[in-house]
Amino acid sequence: MRLILLGPPGAGKGTQAQMLKEKFRIPQISTGDILRQAVKDDTELGVQAKSFMDSGQLVPDDVVIGLIKARIKQVDCEAGFILDGFPRTIVQAEKLSETLTDMSLAIDVVVDLEVDADEVINRLTGRSTCPDCGTMFHEESRPPKVQGVCDGCGGSLAQRQDDNEETILKRLEVYQESTAPLKEFYKKGGNLKTVTARGSAEEIFSRVCEMVQ
């Protein structure tokens, strides 16, 4: 199964992608995670991406398209993959579709996670992530058993640098302008499914599963 998760920052794409990855045993491909790792490792890609990420802007299309083209050709993607945070512009969506067509493949389903802007701000400001295993927590809705410590691997939880109110507002603006038009793009293709991203991660996951199965 080849699946795209759409939705604004804070819609829960990362959490749902992790749950889908476990259920369907296919890789989660998060351009945000790949870019954050590159920043952490101080690679050429990281240096190129950092200022865009810190200011809530999109990293240039050709950079992320190159990343995805290489990633989906890897052997672990043969049975499918979950795209989390890609595509984010119409150009990215067009290039993805061209690449898949060249490989005689296609996207099976696009799940759009719908959530209100107020809810997004609350979710993102209260969120922390384990830098070691990627598990996400929230101070109200999904608190770790021990404050600041990952339940899964014991890593020290950290807040993302771009999860501050000013950058969140910029990210939401960029989402409206560049990414929201993808809903129309995929609606025309006939494989867009809309899911209300309200309630617990498990409740949202059961709605997502109904749509993809």
Catalytic residues: 13, 88, 127, 160, 171
Q: DSSP letter at 155?
A: P
Task: Report how far Cα 113 is from the mean position of its chain's Cα atoms.
Answer: 11
Q: Which is nearer to ligand AMP, 53 or 206 (CB)?
A: 53
Residue 30: strand, helix, or coil: strand
Cβ neighbors of 202 (< 8 A, separation 6 or more) are: none
| Distance in angstroms (rounded) separating the CA atoms of residues 204 and 45 | 34
Task: State yes or no: residue 95 binds ligand AMP (CB under 6 A).
Answer: no
Among 123, 127, 138, 171, binds ligand AMP (CB under 6 A): 171
Task: State yes or no: residue 32 binds ligand AMP (CB under 6 A).
Answer: yes
Taking a C-beta distance cutoff of 8 angstroms, is the pair 149, 157 a contact? yes
Task: State yes or no: residue 29 binds ligand AMP (CB under 6 A).
Answer: no
Q: Which is nearer to ligand AMP, 11 or 192 (CB)?
A: 11
Q: Which is nearer to ligand AMP, 150 or 172 (CB)?
A: 172
Tokens of 11: 């819609």
Q: Which residues bind ligand AMP (CB under 6 A)?
A: 9, 31-32, 35, 52-53, 56-59, 64, 85-86, 88, 92, 162, 171
